Amino acid sequence: DAGVTQSPTHLIKTRGQQVTLRCSPKSGHDTVSWYQQALGQGPQFIFQYYEEEERQRGNFPDRFSGHQFPNYSSELNVNALLLGDSALYLCASSWAGASGLEQYFGPGTRLTVT
Amino acid sequence: SQQGEEDPQALSIQEGENATMNCSYKTSINNLQWYRQNSGRGLVHLILIRSNEREKHSGRLRVTLDTSKKSSSLLITASRAADTASYFCATGFKAAGNKLTFGGGTRVLVKP
């Protein structure tokens, strides 16, 4: 049973560019959440997708957008990259059922903006 | 913003000793989860405790939750060098999609 997978592993972009990160949830999971983790800090919630719609959003600007596909996989898009967007981006999947409280994280995508 | 605050921020112990770290939070929750992270990699889920539970065990891990004090603790017994990692608590509220709010983490170094 594959866990949560993310691609790419590492990415280097230039300020002002756009980036797309991808996530495949754990088998049986239907909800995908994205988090940003700056160096030395805890993860911060960006948004959550369920049934192909954004269900919850954290305190992030509109430059951050996402999508969920019918197979539950998800993409995170960041436009007009800033130096401060350099971080580890983590995807987590879970099940929306009543007992689905645990979130399982992927290995992350390390984004460096120069 | 981060809801949880872990204490201490860093902890250095000898192999075989116990490690205790604490987490405080601010708003209502219905579950609290602890995660481990090695060297900036993905988070590994350790244990979940629901708001109606006071204590939970998993192997060498013991978690307590005091909702009246809005605090939780994680105890790792008989620590090993492989336990060296950062540990994060995260609070969730199911009605809000259970988005997790993390603290800043405790960095644990277990010396052989």
Closest CA relative to residue A109, chosen from A2, A4, A5, A10: A10
- Percent of chain B topping pLDDT 90: 77
At A63 the pLDDT is: 98
Q: pLDDT tens digits, residue range A54-84? A: 998 999 999 999 999 999 999 999 999 999 9
- Residues of chain A with a CB closer than 8 angstroms to some CB in chain B: 4, 31, 33, 35, 39, 41-45, 48, 50, 55-56, 58-59, 88, 90, 92, 94, 100-108, 110
Contact B43 A50 (CB under 8 A): no
Q: What is the predicted pLDDT for the residue at A78?
A: 98
Per residue in B54-102, pLDDT (tens digit) is: 999 999 999 999 999 999 999 999 999 999 999 999 998 876 677 899 9
Q: Which long-range contacts (CB under 8 A, 24 or more apart) does A69-73 make?
A: A72/A24, A72/A25, A72/A29, A72/A30, A72/A31, A72/A32, A73/A22, A73/A23, A73/A24, A73/A25, A73/A32
Which segments in chain A show pLDDT lower than 70?
1, 98-100
